[in-house]
Structure 1
Amino acid sequence: MGEKRLQATRVVDIRPDQVFTLLATPDRHPDLDASGTVRGSRTHRPVGAVGDVFVMDMHGEDMGDYAVENHVVAFEPDREIAWAPATPGGDRGGQVWGYRLEPCNGGGSTRVTHVYDWSGVTMERLLPYLPIVDADGLAATLERLAGLAEQA
């Protein structure tokens, strides 16, 4: 397989701090997820730093119901947030989901880049399922983010 990283970018009509607040709040992730796999948060508190872990309830067509621990690997308020999913108490698996934020239009809007990187995956059992989303799926999540922004 060639490139093991996808991204999509879109401008949303709210400030970077407002976008960051949505992304750093696990309870909002089901509202953002266009895939339908993210079902709910077990953590119920905002992410605050690299090293934080938030747990999400998930559902996959092939896997049924399961939980993931998301280990925060990048955290720069109003600029970047990313996490690496792991089995509870186990291996991170090598995937990273993240967002980079750039102010635009005088700071009243935000250019959001949603990134999915699976280049670090070494677990053989995961490889047949990767990538688990395509660029259109990332763009659909950004569409949902934009919709939430318009409601804010």
Structure 2
Amino acid sequence: MDQEKVSATLTVSAPATRVFTVLADPTAHAAIDGTGWVQEAVDRAPLTEVGQVFRMDMYHPNHPNGDYQVANQVQVLDPPRAIGWLTGQEKEDGHLEFGGWAWRYDLAPLGPSETEVMLTYDWSAVPQSIREYIQFPPFGPEHLTNSLHHLAELVSGR
């Protein structure tokens, strides 16, 4: 782990195209999440282009409201090699505001039925004003590993 980024890697028993398809499906994200914070996809359409926004219902016991919603904007979409998004929120006026943290999955085919998947959480763009009230990363390193194991179970059909 460097100072502003944490990653985990796992080899999964599925072709990269299958892994990418699952990652591009917002309805699968709650099952992939290693913290239990992601509850349900609000926007259920598959991720197909950079700039696309998808919202997720969330829950965290330390959030002021407990239940809340995030708005994610796709920043990387390179099927079947990489997918990533910024996480933020939608203001009452509809304006999207991002906090400076991003999720990214990089996929490396290891053959026709195996893929190395690296999940990276990057908070290097978080401004000091947000760092004053949120500790980064806001979860332990096991979150990323848990997420990759959940992904492996989904793509292998277990």
TM-score (norm 2): 0.90
Q: Identity percentage over the alignment?
A: 34
Quote the residue 1:140 is aligned against: 146
Which region of structure 1 is more displaced relative to structure 2, 5-14 or 86-95?
86-95
Quote the residue 2:117 is aligned against: 112
Quote the residue 1:98 is aligned against: 104
Quote the residue 1:39 is aligned against: 39
Query: Are residues 1:28 and 2:33 paired?
Result: no
Quote the residue 1:18 is aligned against: 18
Amino acid at match of 1:52: Q
Deviation (angstroms), 1:34: 1.2
Give every structure 1 segment of 4 or more consecutive aligned residues whose post-TM-superposition deviation is greater than 3 Å.
125-128
Superposition pairs of residues 65-80 of structure 1, within 5 angstroms? 65-80=67-82
Q: Deviations over 1:76-116 (max 9, x none)?
A: 01000000011113321100011000000x23110000000
Q: Is the CA contact (8 Å cut-off) linking 1:15 and 1:110 kept in structure 2?
A: yes
* Secondary structure of the corresponding residue to residue 91 of structure 1: strand
Q: Deviations over 1:38-85 (max 9, x none)?
A: 000011110001100000000111111000110001000100000001
RMSD between aligned residues = 1.4
TM-score (norm 1): 0.93
Quote the residue 2:85 is aligned against: 83
Deviation (angstroms), 1:126: 4.2
Unaligned runs of 5+ in 1: none
Unaligned runs of 5+ in 2: none
Amino acid at match of 1:84: L
Q: Deviations over 1:2-44 (max 9, x none)?
A: 6110000000000000000110000010010010000000111
Q: Is the CA contact (8 Å cut-off) linking 1:93 and 1:123 kept in structure 2?
A: no
Q: Is the CA contact (8 Å cut-off) linking 2:13 and 2:156 kept in structure 1?
A: yes
Q: Is the CA contact (8 Å cut-off) linking 2:108 and 2:116 kept in structure 1?
A: yes
